[in-house]
A and B are shown apart, each in its own frame.
Chain A
Amino acid sequence: MKKIINIFIFLLCAIVLNAQQVDRSVRPSAAPAKEIQIKDAKSFTLSNGLKVFVVEDNTVPIVRYSLFLDIKPELEGDKAGLSDIFTSVIGTATAKQTKEELNRDIDLIAARISSYSRGGNASSLKKYEDKMLAVFSEILLQPVFNQSELDLNVKKYKSDLSAVSDDISTMNNRLASALAYGKGFPSGEIETEATYDNIKIEDLQKYYDTYFAPDVARLVIVGDVSEKEAKANAEKYFGKWARKNVPVTKYTIPQTPQETKVAMIDKPGSVQSAINITYPIQLPVGSPDENVVEVLMHVFGQGMGSRLFQNLRETHSYTYGVYSFLHGSELVSRFHLADGRSGAGKVKGAATDSAIYQIDYEMRKMIETPISEKELEGAKTYLAGNFGRMLENSGTLADFAVNIDKYNLPKDYYKNYLKRLYAVTPADIQAAAKKYLKPDNAFIVVTGDKSHAEGLKKFAANKTVQFYDVNANPVEAPETGKVDISAEQIIDNYVKALGGSAAIEQINDYSIKSEMSVMGQKIEINQLFKKPGMSVTDMIVGGASMQKIVFTGTKLIMSGMGGNQEFTEGAEFESAKAEASVCQEMDFVKNGCKMTVKGTDKIGESDVYVVDVECIPSKVATYFFDVKSGLLLKRSVSVEGPQGETQQVVEYADYKSVNEVLFAHTVTQKMMGMEMKAVITSITVNSGLSDDLFK
């Protein structure tokens, strides 16, 4: 009655012809490339140790001053969230002005001023430069931390925290950072209500007193300003700032995990899953591998032309876009996925395991197969173009100067960027792929409906999925509810709900016509059944049979575009045999299937019993029966697809009575991210179908 059909359809392209006046098939070639000019930023150091970098750009009358603290503050521990709160409170009052006065002064000149736990930024029209600097330096050098602001912001952060569980990306990001970095490293610390409550006003003052100092800071000045003006302003507004002896914290540097683990947070009923593959790895700024990894990541996952994007979005429509990132960083770098906005990819729920399978596949392909010269060339040209575009923003020149100073790079490091880029070879890329893509040493982090956990086990070295709460604490796998009803009773209820065994038994044959739409194409499906166990499934597209499956009782014949195949044994045969029945579930006991009641769960608003059924050894199908109506709502089974193991889900709905037996009139099949919905258009029962039809 409920035949499962796998369909792969290839549609012909409609090609549109147009008259042409020029030979448009010739792709224009590039004109000679212009040389990219990289000017040096001007730099000098004030007597208090403050390093200043200046880039003059007179395009528009705007100036920008940014202060960066180069510090390694203490771990926050039971005050996790301290730097967030500090960022919110600094800038709200100074020794001279209240919040209202400060904000008014800033708004009158329409300056943009912000400050945070590692410095601050300020920009304004040139004509307001002095007024802007007066406020900016006051905020950085004489801040006042008020209890009322602390209370206000702690409350806001706690509110925000209460909404974390609304968003699968945020949840994923928290867990992924916690796992990748660990508690001994700043980015691995997890804020909770309790840690926010532990933050006191003295902590903010102490943080400021310890870490805000000119000798650990760099001031970057960009825009409509000459070196002379910049010098005078730096001296005037930051010259009297006193040096401090700023301590440097030694963190526990996170290590790449020994083996791949799968971590999950359950988000019941989520239509999408947020997925991440992440791990920490060493890739210092300025290291010889840095540019190779940049090319590798561009090819692999960091853009719309990348292999990940092409595979997951353009080939499979699993997602609106998944990207991967790995950049050089001072202490430790981190490989991770993102959806473009936040630190996790988002894919359709039904494609959760398929998407991870594809990412894993692309990682291994990158490691095992050398990249072609052509693909490499394309990536280099893109990165060269991108480098040229970065220079449109004059702030980039300042960033270069800051990096050279901070990471002790050669003076011509960025001037030689293109030279290093063009020198990268396919062998370099493969070596970097081996070293930096770690499918066997990663945390696979998923936030989504727990029903996807089953399909994720295979990715873990220990074949288990570890569940976590929103605060990254390990928890037991969410249990399906316990019940005291036997599998036999559930099946019995189901048979009764359908109309009872007598009504089912009196069906000698049936003929069902359904329609479904796949990729915009209408497909008709004709299914025939006749006792004692013969069946036909015929799929018709545009009036022609695409695939026909006949089960004669002793033979399975499959015919279609790929030619004819016959089976008299094997898994295909066994499953066709079992399905050549009005209600195969009635025969579970008779056929010696092993049945286990797993508990209760929910499908949408309905409570369901979950039953595992094993008719063929080690091939388990999971059935979901509605507690209230007794009807079968869903069946899920793990099948071998062309790209490995994948979950196949069939949903049954819209039960209607025909000859006193209920038939599901809508059957939706979900597999590998595809959804195919078949709707029955007509059913006839006991019309006396001829045996000739089943040959």
Chain B
Amino acid sequence: MKKLVLLLAIAVWCSFTVGAKKKADQKVNIEFAEYDLNNGLHVILHKDASTPNVIVPIMYHVGTKNETPDKTGFAHFFEHLMFEGSQNIGRGEYMKIVEENGGALNANTSPDRTYYFELMPSNQLELALWMESERMLHAKIDSIGIATQKGVVIEERKQTMESRPYGLATEKLGEKAFTVHPYRWSVLGYPEHIRTATDEEIYHFYKTYYVPDNAVLVISGDFDEKQTKEWVEKYFAGIPKGIKPIARPNIVEPPQTTEIRDTVYDKIQLPGIFMGYHAPAMGTKDAHSLQVLCQILYGGASSRMKANITDKGLALEAFVYPLQQEDPGLIYVFGIVNGGVAPETLEEAINEEFEKVQNELVSEDEFQMSMAAKEFSIASDLSTTRRVSEYLANNFTYFKDSGRINRELDFYSTITREDLMEVARKYFAKNNRVVLYYLPESEEK
């Protein structure tokens, strides 16, 4: 029996004024409002009327880490399926409708969340809300779409991983670094799991994770507040809450106790070194300290790995990348040797840089540089509604605290040089890492 009950949204209000404002000290302050619908959907409104455009993202709190080891790649596979249509949007129409109405859209999947966004002229906001609500309520999950997207995802894996030089390095690092945590497989998953996934399993995944109480909707740009709230109500309030239990893995990866090393032979000419150090979860003080430290190791032109490794001709490229993940993940350290340099020589040079920061404080200059770089990158990010809305969605999804967007810089202000040495010792120990050598196939014995 159809229930014709309109659910009333209860709005929890924050202050609401227009636009991003610079304070006297030049710090950017982002103003926004947020509230929950009765079905648990969190809504964030951020106004910026400088051009007649609006962006409508939805972040679902589901990623690779919600998958089970025998069914990898589902979260990402869904990102594709969500473009197939819905009960009221025909197959292949989704992208077309958005584009024909002047919009653009895309999506991406991480180990922790799946993110969809529509960029629209502001007069098409209602359309964007209808479309997003359509695929949240009843996306077209059927055999034809599943079969097509299986093929596409398998090509995506070939294009971005298998046929790209060193393309499988991050997957292999994950496999070695994690024994129990779901970060051990890649976002794209294993092709055999994609091939053999049944329609029922796929539908079950949708009904579990694509529910309003597992999502945050952001509207950022040029819109009328009252009208927008009415539309949100109209299209989203009737979507039922999830009833299947959401798997939030609380799997703790046991500490790694000895260094793990391996060699991969591939169709490449130049040897590469791919390392992963176990990292703290995002948002912790250690994670912030490591970001500052990684900026000193690989950030500006005078940073240590650039000055002492690439500028010395040891590597074609060498960099550090601290992934920000909800659970403790990895800090990547990658290097591709310059012609004629032995990979061992490059590893030694990298080791030396990582040992130095464990044994000596970084200089005052370096510390200042790193802080200045943070300040610049945050200011630069907050200049576009695209980045602002993603910050808001991230902060709500992971910390249930959208307001962190205005405190991004504060997290760094209490960090000292001593903290950097401490995290270097804690995380950059050799027994906390995996080292993968990529060598040309011709060297395989």
Of B7, B96, B195, B267, which contacts A305 at CB under 8 A? Answer: B96
Of B144, B238, B373, B383, which contacts A110 at CB under 8 A? Answer: B373
Question: A11 in the interface, Cβ–Cβ < 8 Å?
Answer: yes
Question: B258 in the interface, Cβ–Cβ < 8 Å?
Answer: no
A487-539 contacts to B, CB under 8 A, are 517, 519-521
Which of B114-122, B246-254, B415-423 has 4 or more CB atoms under 8 Å from chain A?
A: B114-122
Question: Is the interface on chain A under 10, 10 to 19, 20 to 34, or 35 or more residues?
Answer: 35 or more
Q: Is A60 a contact partner of B382 (Cβ separation < 8 A)?
A: yes
A316-336 contacts to B, CB under 8 A, are 317-320
Q: Is B372 a contact partner of A108 (Cβ separation < 8 A)?
A: yes
Question: A201 in the interface, Cβ–Cβ < 8 Å?
Answer: no
Q: Is B121 a contact partner of A108 (Cβ separation < 8 A)?
A: no
Beta-carbon nearest neighbor of B316 in chain A? A159
Contact with A along B62-101 (1 / 0, CB 8 A): 0000000000000000000000000110001001111111
Of B143, B338, B379, which contacts A156 at CB under 8 A? Answer: B338
A79-112 contacts to B, CB under 8 A, are 99-100, 102-104, 106-112
Q: Is A110 a contact partner of B163 (Cβ separation < 8 A)?
A: no
Q: Given the complex, which residues of A lie within 8 Å of B95, measured CB to CB?
A: 304-305
Q: Is A25 a contact partner of B88 (Cβ separation < 8 A)?
A: yes
Question: A637 in the interface, Cβ–Cβ < 8 Å?
Answer: no
Q: Given the complex, which residues of A lie within 8 Å of B196, measured CB to CB?
A: 517
Q: Given the complex, which residues of B lie within 8 Å of A315, measured CB to CB?
A: 148
Give the CA-CA distance A110 to B151 in the complex, in Å.
Answer: 45
Contact with A along B358-399 (1 / 0, CB 8 A): 000000010011001101100110111100000000000000
Q: Which of A27, A112, A271 has the most CB of B within 10 A?
A: A27
Q: Is B88 a contact partner of A346 (Cβ separation < 8 A)?
A: no
Q: Given the complex, which residues of B lie within 8 Å of A127, measured CB to CB?
A: 26
Q: Is B100 a contact partner of A377 (Cβ separation < 8 A)?
A: yes
Q: Is B162 a contact partner of A271 (Cβ separation < 8 A)?
A: yes
Q: Is B104 a contact partner of A386 (Cβ separation < 8 A)?
A: yes
Q: Given the complex, which residues of B lie within 8 Å of A381, measured CB to CB?
A: 100-102
Q: Given the complex, which residues of A lie within 8 Å of B124, measured CB to CB?
A: 30-31, 385
Q: Given the complex, which residues of A lie within 8 Å of B87, measured CB to CB?
A: 15-18, 24
A391-416 contacts to B, CB under 8 A, are 391-393
Question: B214 in the interface, Cβ–Cβ < 8 Å?
Answer: no
Contact with A along B293-323 (1 / 0, CB 8 A): 0000001111100010001010010000000
Give the CA-CA distance A378 to B95 in the complex, in Å.
Answer: 11
Beta-carbon nearest neighbor of B373 in chain A? A110
Of B20, B100, B143, B300, which contacts A106 at CB under 8 A? Answer: B300
Which of B46-54, B170-178, B274-282 has 4 or more CB atoms under 8 Å from chain A?
A: B46-54
Q: Is B365 a contact partner of A104 (Cβ separation < 8 A)?
A: yes
Q: Is B26 a contact partner of A110 (Cβ separation < 8 A)?
A: no
Q: Is A520 a contact partner of B150 (Cβ separation < 8 A)?
A: yes
Beta-carbon nearest neighbor of B124 in chain A? A30
Q: Is B22 a contact partner of A58 (Cβ separation < 8 A)?
A: yes
Q: Given the complex, which residues of B lie within 8 Å of A565, measured CB to CB?
A: none
Question: A348 in the interface, Cβ–Cβ < 8 Å?
Answer: yes
Give the CA-CA distance A17 to B142 in the complex, in Å.
Answer: 12
Of A36, A104, A109, A386, which contacts B52 at CB under 8 A? Answer: A36
Which of A160-168, A433-441, A647-655 has 4 or more CB atoms under 8 Å from chain B?
A: A160-168
Least Cβ–Cβ distance between B442 and chain A, in angstroms: 13
Beta-carbon nearest neighbor of B28 in chain A? A60
Q: Is B123 a contact partner of A348 (Cβ separation < 8 A)?
A: no
Contact with B along A279-318 (1 / 0, CB 8 A): 0000000000000000000000001110000100111011
Contact with B along A252-270 (1 / 0, CB 8 A): 0000000000000000001
Give the CA-CA distance A103 to B96 in the complex, in Å.
Answer: 48
Contact with B along A16-34 (1 / 0, CB 8 A): 1111111011011111111
Q: Is A110 a contact partner of B369 (Cβ separation < 8 A)?
A: yes
Of B26, B123, B158, which contacts A33 at CB under 8 A? Answer: B123
Q: Is B151 a contact partner of A271 (Cβ separation < 8 A)?
A: no
Beta-carbon nearest neighbor of A521 in chain B? B143
A11 with B147, Cβ < 8 A, contacts A18-B87, A162-B269, A377-B100 known = yes
Least Cβ–Cβ distance between A20 and chain B, in angstroms: 7
Question: B152 in the interface, Cβ–Cβ < 8 Å?
Answer: yes
Of A24, A112, A158, A317, which contacts B148 at CB under 8 A? Answer: A317
A159 with B159, Cβ < 8 A, contacts A14-B142, A60-B28, A104-B302 known = no
Question: A389 in the interface, Cβ–Cβ < 8 Å?
Answer: yes
Q: How many A-B residue pairs have CB under 8 A?
A: 275
Task: Give the number of chain B interface residues (Cβ < 8 Å).
Answer: 105
B149-203 contacts to A, CB under 8 A, are 149-152, 154-156, 158-160, 162-165, 195-199, 203
Q: Given the complex, which residues of A lie within 8 Å of B365, measured CB to CB?
A: 104, 108
Q: Which of B102, B134, B144, B154 has the most CB of A within 10 A?
A: B102
Q: Is A106 a contact partner of B301 (Cβ separation < 8 A)?
A: yes
Q: Given the complex, which residues of A lie within 8 Å of B198, measured CB to CB?
A: 520
A272 with B158, Cβ < 8 A, contacts A110-B376, A385-B121 known = yes
Least Cβ–Cβ distance between B199 and chain A, in angstroms: 7
Give the CA-CA distance A378 to B154 in the complex, in Å.
Answer: 31
Question: A125 in the interface, Cβ–Cβ < 8 Å?
Answer: yes
Question: A384 in the interface, Cβ–Cβ < 8 Å?
Answer: yes
Q: Given the complex, which residues of B lie within 8 Å of A346, measured CB to CB?
A: 155, 158-159, 163
Q: Which of B151, B269, B270 has the most CB of A within 10 A?
A: B151
A359-385 contacts to B, CB under 8 A, are 377-379, 381-382, 384-385
Contact with B along A22-64 (1 / 0, CB 8 A): 1011011111111110000000000000000000001111100
Q: Which of A317, A348, A378 has the most CB of B within 10 A?
A: A317
Q: Which of B92, B302, B311 has the most CB of A within 10 A?
A: B302
Question: B222 in the interface, Cβ–Cβ < 8 Å?
Answer: yes
Q: Is A152 a contact partner of B339 (Cβ separation < 8 A)?
A: no
Q: Given the complex, which residues of B lie within 8 Å of A317, measured CB to CB?
A: 148-152, 154-155
Q: Is A382 a contact partner of B99 (Cβ separation < 8 A)?
A: yes
Q: Is A12 a contact partner of B143 (Cβ separation < 8 A)?
A: yes
Question: A388 in the interface, Cβ–Cβ < 8 Å?
Answer: yes
Question: B234 in the interface, Cβ–Cβ < 8 Å?
Answer: yes
Give the CA-CA distance A7 to B54 in the complex, in Å.
Answer: 47
A314 with B338, Cβ < 8 A, contacts A107-B302, A152-B313, A385-B103 known = no
Give the CA-CA distance A547 to B163 in the complex, in Å.
Answer: 37
Q: Given the complex, which residues of A lie within 8 Å of B379, measured CB to CB?
A: 60-62, 125
Least Cβ–Cβ distance between A239 and chain B, in angstroms: 27
Of B102, B152, B197, which contacts A313 at CB under 8 A? Answer: B152
Give the CA-CA distance A100 to B197 in the complex, in Å.
Answer: 55
Q: Is A100 a contact partner of B152 (Cβ separation < 8 A)?
A: no
Give the CA-CA distance A109 to B143 in the complex, in Å.
Answer: 56
Question: A155 in the interface, Cβ–Cβ < 8 Å?
Answer: yes
A320 with B300, Cβ < 8 A, contacts A18-B87, A166-B267 known = no
Contact with B along A106-120 (1 / 0, CB 8 A): 111111100000000
Question: B205 in the interface, Cβ–Cβ < 8 Å?
Answer: no
Question: A191 in the interface, Cβ–Cβ < 8 Å?
Answer: no
Least Cβ–Cβ distance between B376 and chain A, in angstroms: 4
Q: Given the complex, which residues of B lie within 8 Å of A59, measured CB to CB?
A: 20, 50, 383
7 residue pairs, one from A and one from B, having the closest CB atoms: A385-B102, A317-B151, A378-B100, A519-B147, A107-B300, A110-B372, A103-B302
A-side residues, CB < 8 A to B, are: 11-22, 24-25, 27-36, 58-62, 99-100, 102-104, 106-112, 123-128, 152, 155-156, 158-160, 162-163, 165-168, 270-272, 303-305, 310, 313-315, 317-320, 339, 346-348, 377-379, 381-382, 384-386, 388-389, 391-393, 517, 519-521, 673
User: What would 25 A/B residue contacts be, using CB atoms closer than 8 Å?
Assistant: A16-B203, A20-B2, A24-B88, A60-B382, A62-B376, A107-B300, A110-B369, A156-B313, A163-B165, A165-B269, A272-B155, A272-B163, A305-B96, A305-B99, A305-B100, A320-B152, A320-B159, A346-B158, A346-B159, A348-B158, A381-B102, A382-B100, A385-B101, A388-B52, A392-B53
- A14-B143, A107-B369, A520-B198 known; 17 new pairs, CB 8 Å cut-off, are A16-B87, A21-B238, A22-B234, A25-B88, A33-B52, A99-B311, A103-B307, A111-B376, A126-B26, A152-B311, A304-B95, A305-B99, A317-B150, A320-B159, A389-B119, A519-B150, A521-B143
